[in-house]
Amino acid sequence: MNKQLSKKQRFNYFLINLISFASIFLILGLIVFQLLQTSIYQTVDHDLQRLATDQKFLQHQMLQTERRQENVSQLGKFDTPPPNNFQQQVILWSKDGKILNEAELGSRFYDFQNLTLSTDQLSTISSIQTKDSNDRTLQFRSITLLVENQEQVAYIQLLVNIDPIKGTVERIKQILIICMIIFGLLSIALSYFLSKWFMKPIMISWKKQQEFVENASHELRTPLTIIQAKLEKLFTKPNHTILEESETIALSLDEVQRLSQLTSDLLLLARSDSNSLTLEKEPIKSNNFLNTVLLPYQELALAEEKEFIIDLGEDQQLCFDKKRIHQLLIILLDNALKYTATGEKITVFSSVKNNEWLIKISDTGIGIVEENKAAVFERFYRVEGSRNRKTGGYGIGLAIAKWIVEEHQGKIELTDTMPKGTTVILRFPV
């Protein structure tokens, strides 16, 4: 992946994250602000509605105006105490829209002298505003009630001043805006961090894919070059018989077989990366299966004057992918035979206990140094290039072996065989 494409992809991730976080914070801020504002005004409207339904309170206000408190004592106590501050006010109106309780309002009357009577929304709470004596705008929540059977008072209007509430709401809005700015800056930082974090596995995967293609191309080039050279050699000797060039033909066929095996392994690795391979598990007798795989290798070892020991425990019926486990054992046994000299020993041990199938393949060959043990499971890794050219390895066998073990939820590890050699330990859950 080139730098330009990487930067573009990272920028796209950054924008997606930033827009997502900004949208979440903005929606959350709007919801919080709307809920607070609604809650505050609901409290005001509730108090206003309570006053509007208190008949004794309303009668007290009308009598106070008509009789100038001469007969107020006749009513006794009322349910709701009369308003004694500028937050709540009562205005009594005549039919022609004149304020009747001017004396009770006192100096506050000048704040309401610009107010006009509106009968469009009787018994409904609404917002109104007016100018006071200093030309300042005053805002109220108001409800106007129709008064029946009264000579002078035609309407009674209850008002609650909401200027302090408006101020509180504005302060809340300012605080939320500041918080949104802070969260916005945090969103930018977090989006930048997440864009790098999301890109990291993509870049690692791309790098692995690039290395895979490069290594595969290199490995494929070698047998193709050999085949090409051998065929070109045949063209230089058109009069030779097949028997005379049998060695050249045999070498070409060997390279074709190696090339076929390599392409099969590469295809397997590619499919394993895309998770397009599935295991076909079936119940199988462990010892019968192992003997089928091991006995041909025992014969090969005897032919090469190498000791091959098979130590199998009690036969158990296990469930696994026969084809893949067979492939796994062939990879490990091939390596054991390749790197074990004449006269040395190879031991295969198998047992099932504690819900675990344990397989050990030990040899007394050249062994693997400690620092290379983890790396040998990487694709195309070679401990020694010269040795692999001699044995014909491509460095992908153990990578396939590790994949097969992990697909069976197992574990694979390498240990030293004393006094020399390597032991491969396989553990599968039963």
Eight-class DSSP state of 122: B
Q: Are 118 and 129 in contact (CB under 8 A)?
A: no
Label residue 60 exposed, middle or buried (CB < 10 Å: 0-12, 13-18, 19+): buried
pLDDT at 368 over 70: yes
Q: Are strands 88-93 and 137-146 parallel, antiparallel or unpaired?
A: unpaired
User: Helix (H, G, I), strand (E, B), or coil: what is residue 347?
Assistant: strand
Q: What Rg value do the Cα atoms of the chain yield, rounded? A: 46
Element at 89 (helix H, strand E): strand 88-93
Alpha-carbon gap, residue 405 to 428, rounded angstroms:
8
Phi, psi dihedrals of residue 349, rounded to the nearest 5°: -120, 140
Q: In this predicted structure, what is the pLDDT of residue 2?
A: 57
Alpha-carbon gap, residue 19 to 13, rounded angstroms:
10
Nearest to 361 by CA among 400, 324, 413, 299: 413
Give residue-wise pLDDT tens across range 273-326: 767 678 889 999 999 999 999 999 999 999 999 999 999 988 899 999 999 999
Q: Are strands 281-285 and 155-161 parallel, antiparallel or unpaired?
A: unpaired
User: Helix (H, G, I), strand (E, B), or coil: what is residue 245?
Assistant: coil
Mean of all residue pLDDT scores within the chain: 82
What are the Cα distances from residue 406, in Å, to 77, 276, 379, 401, 402?
86, 15, 15, 9, 6
62 half-sphere exposure, CB direction, 13 A CA radius: 21
Q: Are 307 and 346 in contact (CB under 8 A)?
A: yes
Q: In this predicted structure, what is the pLDDT of residue 392?
A: 52
Q: Are 124 and 141 in contact (CB under 8 A)?
A: no
Q: Are 264 and 400 in contact (CB under 8 A)?
A: no
Other beta carbons within 10 Å of 289: 18
Lookup: tokens for 391: 């044995």
Give the angle 262-264-269 at the CA atoms, nearest 5°: 95
Please report, as a single letter, which amino acid is at residue 110: Y
Query: Which of 14-18, 26-30, 109-113, 167-171 is predicted with the least confidence, judged by mean pLDDT?
Result: 109-113
CA 330 to the chain's CA centroid: 40
Lookup: tokens for 87: 């937050």
pLDDT at 346 over 90: yes
Query: Which of 13-27, 293-307, 391-405 is predicted with the least confidence, judged by mean pLDDT?
Result: 391-405
pLDDT at 98 over 80: yes
Element at 303 (helix H, strand E): helix 286-303
pLDDT at 189 over 80: yes
290 half-sphere exposure, CB direction, 13 A CA radius: 22
pLDDT at 149 over 80: no
Q: In this predicted structure, what is the pLDDT of residue 71?
A: 47
pLDDT at 66 over 70: no
Structure confidence at residue 72 as a pLDDT band (50, 70, 90): very low
Lookup: tokens for 219: 């490995």
Q: Are 379 and 357 in contact (CB under 8 A)?
A: no
Equal fold, 200-273 vs 281-429: no
- At the topology level of CATH, where does 200-273 sit? Helix Hairpins (1.10.287)
Q: Are 141 and 160 in contact (CB under 8 A)?
A: yes
Q: In this predicted structure, what is the pLDDT of residue 387?
A: 43
pLDDT at 95 over 80: yes
Q: In this predicted structure, what is the pLDDT of residue 76?
A: 44
Alpha-carbon gap, residue 195 to 30, rounded angstroms:
27
pLDDT at 167 over 50: yes
Cis peptide before 419 (omega within 30 of 0): yes
Q: What is the mean pLDDT of residues 94-111?
A: 79
Give residue-wise pLDDT tens across range 379-394: 777 665 434 445 556 6
User: Helix (H, G, I), strand (E, B), or coil: what is residue 423?
Assistant: strand
3-state secondary structure 353-393: ECCEEEEEEEECCCCCCHHHCCHHHCCCCCCCHHHHHHHCC
What are the Cα distances from residue 65, in Å, to 54, 93, 103, 149, 404?
17, 11, 8, 16, 97
pLDDT higher at 265 or 232: 232
Query: Which of 13-22, 121-130, 211-220 is predicted with the least confidence, judged by mean pLDDT?
Result: 211-220
Q: What residue segments make up the domains of the chain, in order of their start?
A: 77-161, 200-273, 281-429
Provide CATH code, domain 281-429. 3.30.565.10
> Cα dihedral sign for 8, 14, 17, 20?
negative
Phi, psi dihedrals of residue 367, rounded to the nearest 5°: 75, 175
Other beta carbons within 10 Å of 298: 18
Q: In this predicted structure, what is the pLDDT of residue 194?
A: 84
Alpha-carbon gap, residue 296 to 308, rounded angstroms:
11
pLDDT at 12 over 80: yes
